[in-house]
Structure 1
Amino acid sequence: MAIRDKLSGNEAVAVAMKQINPDVVAAFPITPSTEIPQYFSNFVSNGEVETEFVPVESEHSAMSACISAAAAGARTMTATSANGLALMWEMLYIAASCKTPVVLTVVNRALSGPINIHNDHSDSMGSRDSGWLQFYGENNQEAYDNLLMALKVAEHPEISLPVMNCYDGFITSHAVENIELIEDDKVKAFVGEYKPSQYMLNSDNQVAVGPLSMPTHYFEQKRQQAESMRKAKDVIIEVSKEFEALTGRKYDLFESYKLDDAEVAVVVLGSTAGTTKHVVDQLRDKGVKAGMLKLRIFRPFPAEEIAEAIKDIKAVAVMDKCDGFNAKGAPVFTEVRSALYDYDTKPAMVNYIYGLGGRDVKTDDIEKVYNDLLEVVKEGKVEDPYRYLGVMEEQ
């Protein structure tokens, strides 16, 4: 029987970590992810886990310690947000290139400057091409579930890449919701015992991790890293099916919500998906064929699957909770539009930058997006594909 509880997103992730009982957690506090290592350190001090908890002097040091531990063969986890993730920047690339399956919970927060402690996706989107897999959760249940699946994917012998478990700061991290936890023994059976094939403390098969790589080998090593990322999509689907068999909760690369017959649709990720579903239901009651695609996996990017899901829709709005600063659209928009490039049939598409620095996103805002899409369908063209939602324009 599932365990029913009421937890914040951060509590739920800390409980999942306790159930996993990793070998090493190295962490440094930063709002709004601070509670995760705080809760987990209590589990350590109370003897509820056998984890070696390493308090360090910075986020750069936290990721450095995690890489070292994982390279030594330890199951390793940590958490951070915003500027903390930015301070890890150098080490993110090293973790991925060394193929160390570290699991990092990123509690999404605006990346300075100006200094802002509230939610948007500029931190994890800024690191989208560092070689890490990226999972995004809508709510507390998904934050918990995704962590369990992320670990199993990361440690899969054909992948062995680090994974970010991302969810929205304060909105998900601190809000308390009903949640269904899995029993401890079932969690342990699901993630299994970590048995790396190569690690530094294996005296029978000694390896070097992170050595100088000359032009004779570097190119091939990066190709191998990229191939693991490509394979990850199938492994994510496989692990998600195992999770569904265990819990009854179905996950895929993305969630389609009333998309099959939709004429207008929104592509979104994170907590805003919940608001969008409510608006879709209201519009459906009015006879509007509205739908939504909620991205769960951003790396590897499920381009073909997304294109097939939306290619016959008349107009699509892609929502980005960060700006791209390339003057041609933000990260999710550019990748979704690129996925449709080779299709003869494709929707009219617009990009909305929204919610930066924690700006509220209300049902009225999302309804405006759908109304704009209906106008695009009516006019048969897109006047300006690059738009801002809820910004205070200068008068």
Structure 2
Amino acid sequence: MPAPFASDPAASRGRLHAEDPSAHRSPFQRDRDRIIHSSAFRRLKHKTQVFVEHEGDYFRTRLTHSIEVAQVARTIARTLRLNEDLTEAVALAHDLGHTPFGHTGEDALAEMMAPWGGFDHNAQAVKIVTALEQHYAEHDGLNLTWETLEGIAKHNGPVKRPPFALAEYNAIHDLELSTHASAEAQVAALSDDIAYNNHDLMDGLRAGLFLEEEIRELPVIGRCFDIVDSRWPGLDPTRRQHEALRRVFGVMVEDVLRESAQILERSGARSPEDIRALDYQVVRFSRPLWEDLKIIRKFFFDNMYRHWQVRRMRRKASIVVKDLFTIFLEDTGMLPDEWRRAANFAGEGVGRARVVSDYIAGMTDRFALQEHRKIMDPSERG
């Protein structure tokens, strides 16, 4: 039985463009399906987290990450008696607005867009699902429900100063940006953190950016290795590592479930509106684990994100994004036909810059590298 504060699809605030209901799927199920079938979701296959797309088949991409986040989110939502379909929809859509080359690409594009209101991947995700996906006969975008749009926009918390793109949409479809999102969206946000911590451990080890001996000194992780060694002495190293890290994953999930259930009970919330009215998040880690995770994240920052190989990759990625932005803004004639028409129609200034930004943000790592090479290398055919 759903919790009283779970989002009820039958009580959804609806869509910007009214549609007849489906005979077989709830509104949130339709949202999830539209996200999965979108062009932006497919492109996540070739957008990366930390490593450039061509560096190895085993490293996470935005697509595999989004699938992992959705799996964690469904588990947590089910246990807390929330709406799994809404939770999954927000989880699957949360990274749609990311640029090529992960946060490095976002930082570079935000820097180039600073004179025109900046760039934010959550705002870009809303723009994608409300405008840039153009496949339906009756409207631009995916025409998602209010609840899913709200979750995409503010799953990380209230948005006090919305970026231009988000403020522009919010003016015609109020997402109540100053409040917290539903419990389902909060679950998606915490699931993102859990998945990030888990695959940074796995990918960093696989890439040789740090050693097992180093992470065994970290809180939580060392205890999980000790449990595996005690239960299966002499286990094959690969299996041993996997067994330990899956226990780290389990510790995070169990902690969120235990802490969030207690917070929800203490909150007295009896409806989704009660959750939004609270001045704190109801889905979160316990304080002790949060302190442990800060130590782990600092280790990642010092030993993974600052590693010389990653720094070189990030430098090259930043150059690619900045070069493409500068070139396309100066000469819109180098854009593909539909984007050139859009840029010229937008006119000088912010409109043109935002068209160029949208084009680059939608690129995969591979396509951005190809475009840069075609433009910058005289031996390449354009």
Q: TM-score range by the shorter chain?
A: under 0.3
Name whichever structure is richer in helix by fraction.
2
| TM-score under structure 2 length normalisation | 0.27
Name whichever structure is richer in strand by fraction.
1
| TM-score under structure 1 length normalisation | 0.26
Greater RCO, 1 or 2 (C-alpha within 8 Å, sep 6+): 2
